């Protein structure tokens, strides 16, 4: 079912006064059966749509019907317009015509309030294209193939039935049924390479219901509590990486972060990425690991 088509059906009925299921089917390029299902949904939702039999009969909406006088509050009307704009930005499709029509029906000005771009500030990349490819595969229920780089830098070939794209902790993820693992898995989009869509169709309902996404699984990685001190000169980066609930300032204006994080090589590389602008306060074991890694780096450069 297309939500866009339902809204456009309402607009079409208001604009044309009276029509037929055949005309609507030709206009939206769907079957008349689909049109009748859409009309049933609109009637159940409370829209005053009627049908007259006979040679001069047809489908029409109450002539006194005004969309903004229905059960939509002023706030709900704004939410509908904002949701349509989200669809336009995330689907990389031009829904401006539909948004303009809905804004006119609600007698509201359209606010251009959201923009989504998956490229980085440093250089252009393929994230937009990757997102669009996966999104299309989800809607068409087609299998995708790609190589995936795990947290240890290992590459593996994956065949996946994609289920959902979701955004968490500044990163886009894909949830899908992995044929290699015979279970649902979560993949970071940035680690997916050589992505392509196959001609194989699937029905997730015939496999298993996807689990709810409440956290990013990290099954084999233990977590530890760390206390880090960041120089005040990189405060903006600190707030980019951590929520303000775990950040406080010392008397010199530096930022003290107390957080629970994965205890793996990522943590060491993360700390080293700030150079001398960060200091490990606790635990001592983490301090020792950072020093060992620094000595390994020094040894590499001594060899060259």
Helices (DSSP H) in the chain: which residue ranges? 3-16, 21-28, 32-44, 74-90, 96-106, 127-140, 235-241, 265-272, 284-303
Percent of the chain with pLDDT over 90: 26
Is the per-residue pLDDT at 166 higher than 80? yes
**CATH topology (fold) of 127-206:** SH3 type barrels. (2.30.30)
pLDDT digits (tens, 9 = 90+) for 200-248: 998 877 777 777 766 555 545 688 999 999 999 988 888 878 766 788 9
pLDDT digits (tens, 9 = 90+) for 107-128: 555 555 555 555 554 444 567 7
User: Once rounded to an integer, what is the mean pLDDT over residues 18-36?
Assistant: 87
Could you confirm whether domain 223-303 is CATH 3.30.70?
A: yes
- Which pLDDT does position 219 carry in this prediction? 47
Report the distance separating Cα 43 and Cα 41, nearest Å. Answer: 5
Q: Where are the domains of the chain?
A: 3-106, 127-206, 223-303
pLDDT digits (tens, 9 = 90+) for 274-288: 999 999 999 999 999
**CATH topology (fold) of 3-106:** Arc Repressor Mutant, subunit A (1.10.10)
């Amino acid at each position: 079912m297309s939500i866009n088509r339902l809204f456009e059906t309402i607009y079409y009925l208001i604009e044309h006064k009276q029509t037929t299921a055949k005309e609507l089917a030709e206009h939206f390029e769907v079957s008349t059966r689909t049109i009748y299902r859409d009309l049933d949904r609109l009637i159940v939702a409370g829209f005053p749509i009627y049908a007259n039999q006979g040679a001069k009969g047809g489908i029409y909406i109450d002539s006194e019907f005004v969309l903004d006088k229905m059960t939509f509050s002023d706030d709900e009307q704004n939410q509908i317009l904002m949701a349509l704009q989200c669809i336009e930005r995330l689907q990389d499709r031009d829904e401006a015509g539909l948004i303009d029509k809905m804004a006119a029906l609600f007698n509201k000005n359209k606010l251009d309030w959201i923009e989504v771009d998956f490229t980085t500030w440093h250089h252009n990349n393929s994230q937009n294209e990757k997102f669009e490819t996966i999104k299309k595969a989800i809607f068409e229920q087609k299998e995708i193939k790609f190589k995936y780089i795990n947290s240890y830098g290992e590459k593996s070939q994956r065949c996946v039935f994609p289920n959902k794209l979701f955004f968490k902790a500044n990163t886009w993820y894909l949830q899908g049924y992995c044929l290699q693992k015979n279970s649902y898995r979560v993949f970071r989009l940035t680690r997916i390479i050589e992505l392509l869509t196959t001609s194989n169709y699937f029905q997730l309902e015939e496999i298993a219901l996807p689990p709810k996404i409440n956290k990013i699984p990290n099954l084999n990685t233990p977590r530890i509590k760390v206390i880090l001190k960041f120089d005040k000169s990189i405060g903006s980066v600190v707030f980019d990486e951590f929520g303000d609930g775990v950040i406080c300032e010392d008397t010199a204006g530096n930022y003290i972060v107390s957080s629970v994080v994965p205890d793996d090589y990522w943590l060491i590389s993360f700390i080293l990425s700030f150079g001398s602008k960060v200091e490990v306060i606790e635990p001592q074991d983490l301090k020792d690991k950072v020093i060992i890694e620094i000595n390994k780096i020094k040894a590499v450069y001594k060899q060259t």
